[in-house]
């Protein structure tokens, strides 16, 4: 594998097929702050608010509400832990082979693979995020869990990969992938 200028993208071949690996964009300072600082704040708020509310009502702290409250915030803590781990070790593997383009998002070897017929792929392009940043999909894109800056049309839908790539990195992938897809379509 040969890394690109930024060190996040590697181009090479595996089993005779061209392969692009998009590595993680590591935001260690912000990610660690988010995990440790955010988790601590969430836990202190969760316990503090519920205990304070019970004391104001003249009851001993506890009850079913504090249990549900802690379960909710524990779930939030797990979600932020997943975000932190994905931004540190997650990667995308793009492989155009035979008549399929596969896009695999994996974390420690486990993940989801999407496949697309190369004959159906149209308009491969570098494309930034255009959408509502306050919508759920916008938030997932902001956190680096969904979307991507390389887009293509297939089967009437827009599909994306290359999460949190810069414009130059996205253009570099398009430049390398376009001739490969053309030669696969010509063979089909």
Q: Write down the pLDDT at residue 9.
A: 84
| Selected residue with higher pLDDT from 7 and 161 | 161
In the DSSP assignment, the letter for residue 129 is -
Query: Which regions of the chain does DSSP assign to beta strands (E)?
Result: 2-3, 9-14, 17-22, 91-97, 100-107, 110-117, 122-126, 150-154, 157-161
Please determine, for residue 50, whether its predicted confidence score (pLDDT) is greater than 60: yes
Q: Write down the pLDDT at residue 48.
A: 73
Q: Write down the pLDDT at residue 31.
A: 61
Q: What does each C-alpha distance from 110 to 11, 50, 53, 78, 141 come to in angstroms?
A: 21, 38, 43, 18, 20
Query: Across-strand partners of 103?
Result: 94, 114
Distance CA 172, CA 178 (A): 10
| Selected residue with higher pLDDT from 149 and 58 | 149
Q: Write down the pLDDT at residue 33.
A: 64
pLDDT single digits (tens) 115-151: 888 888 888 888 876 666 666 666 666 666 666 778 8
Q: Write down the pLDDT at residue 149.
A: 79
Q: Report the 3 state secondary structure along 5-44.
A: CCCCEEEEEECCEEEEEECCCCCHHHHHHHHHHHHHHHHH
């Amino acid at each position: 594998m040969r890394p690109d200028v930024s060190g996040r993208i590697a181009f090479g071949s595996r089993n005779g097929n061209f392969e692009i690996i998009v590595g993680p964009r590591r935001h260690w300072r912000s990610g660690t702050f988010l995990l440790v600082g955010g988790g601590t704040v969430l836990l202190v708020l969760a316990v503090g608010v519920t205990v304070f509310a019970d004391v104001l009502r003249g009851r001993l702290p506890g009850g079913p509400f504090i249990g549900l409250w802690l379960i909710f915030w524990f779930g939030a803590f797990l979600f932020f832990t997943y975000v932190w781990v994905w931004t540190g070790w997650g990667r995308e593997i793009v492989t155009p082979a035979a008549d399929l383009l596969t896009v695999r998002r994996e974390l420690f070897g486990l993940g989801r693979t999407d496949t697309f017929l190369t004959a159906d792929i149209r308009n491969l392009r570098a494309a930034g995020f255009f959408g509502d940043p306050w919508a759920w999909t916008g938030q997932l894109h902001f956190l680096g869990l969904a979307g991507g800056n390389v887009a293509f049309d297939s089967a009437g839908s827009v599909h994306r990969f290359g999460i949190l790539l810069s414009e130059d990195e996205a253009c570099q992938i398009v430049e390398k992938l376009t001739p490969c897809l053309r030669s696969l379509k010509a063979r089909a």
